[in-house]
């Protein structure tokens, strides 16, 4: 009898080429988990995730599901996975769910958080981006509020052949402080490829005084970014929470 198994995964993305399985033996989070699952269950396994994270991006609570005909109990599957997976990947929760559950399409919204420090740090640099200078947090907060709502985020994303939609409904976007880090909290029904990293890069640029919040609103409304910048570094970004 086929079962649908839901897993919640925590991972340090530093050493992985993102979540999605790739050819040529490249290490990815999906690839590592599927490889161990095939060993444990002795059958082909394909994971479906709530969202695909880029190279170097982390996850506090990625959600995925897979189908199996194995009679093995979910708790035993999780124990076996955690015994064999690298230390940088951890199965936090596992359960059997209805057959119509889909980690991606059943999700209502996704929350990402971006950790940003203003000066380099030997201790915090692995899990945070760096602006290499002080920022105007007030201006960054103004821009964050402009991001909320339904917008075409094409100008703040990378092309994605597997995801042709352009509009996202952002229900929350705000900056705060946590210790020495500035933290962006952003929640939406969906995200375009590298969208959060491009938005962070734009906000950091504005925080340096390169443009005003009004200019950002004009760029967002027009769907065209008139400056040039690279997306913020991936090591500060975490897939934080999926809501179903």
54 catalytic? Reply is yes
Q: How far apart are CA 97 and CA 4, in angstroms?
A: 6
155 half-sphere exposure, CB direction, 13 A CA radius: 17
Catalytic residue among 12, 54, 136, 160: 54
Closest CA to 220 of 233, 194, 202: 202
Pairing of strands 109-117, 237-243: antiparallel
Q: Can you give the three-state secondary structure of the chain, one letter per residue?
A: CCEEEEEEEEECHHHCCCCCCCCCCCCCHHHHHHHHHHHHHCCCCCCEECCCCCCCCEEEEEEEEEEECCCCCHHHHHHHHHHHCCCCEEEEEEEEECCCCCCCCCCCEEEEEEEEECCCCCCCHHHCEECCCCCCHHHHHHHHHHHCEEEECHHHCCCCCCCCCCEEEEEEEEEEEECCEEEEEEEECCCCCCHHHHHHHHHHHHHCCCCCHHHHHHHHHHCCCCCCCCCCCHHHEEEEEEEC
Q: How far apart are CA 244 and CA 110, in angstroms?
A: 9
Residues labelled catalytic:
54
């Amino acid at each position: 009898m086929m079962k649908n198994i839901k897993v919640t995964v925590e991972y340090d993305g530093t050493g992985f080429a993102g979540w999605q399985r790739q050819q040529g033996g490249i290490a990815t989070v999906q690839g590592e988990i599927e490889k161990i699952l095939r060993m444990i269950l002795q059958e082909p396994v394909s994971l479906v995730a709530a969202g695909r994270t880029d190279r170097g991006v982390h996850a506090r609570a990625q959600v995925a599901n897979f189908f199996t005909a194995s009679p093995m109990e979910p708790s035993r599957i999780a124990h076996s996975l955690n015994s064999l997976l690298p230390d940088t990947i951890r199965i936090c929760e596992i359960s059997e769910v209805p057959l119509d559950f889909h980690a991606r399409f059943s999700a209502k919204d996704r929350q990402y958080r971006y950790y940003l420090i203003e000066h380099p740090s030997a201790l915090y640099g692995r899990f945070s981006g760096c602006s290499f200078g002080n920022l105007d947090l007030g201006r960054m907060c103004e821009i964050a509020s402009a991001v909320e709502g339904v917008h075409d985020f094409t100008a703040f994303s990378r092309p994605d052949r597997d995801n042709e939609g352009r509009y996202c409904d952002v229900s929350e976007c705000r900056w705060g402080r946590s210790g020495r880090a500035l933290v962006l909290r952003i929640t939406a029904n969906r995200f375009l490829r590298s969208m959060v990293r491009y938005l962070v890069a734009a906000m950091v640029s504005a925080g340096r005084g390169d443009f005003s919040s009004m200019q950002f609103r004009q760029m967002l409304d027009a769907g065209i970014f008139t400056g040039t910048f690279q997306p913020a570094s991936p090591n500060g970004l975490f897939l934080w929470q999926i809501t179903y």
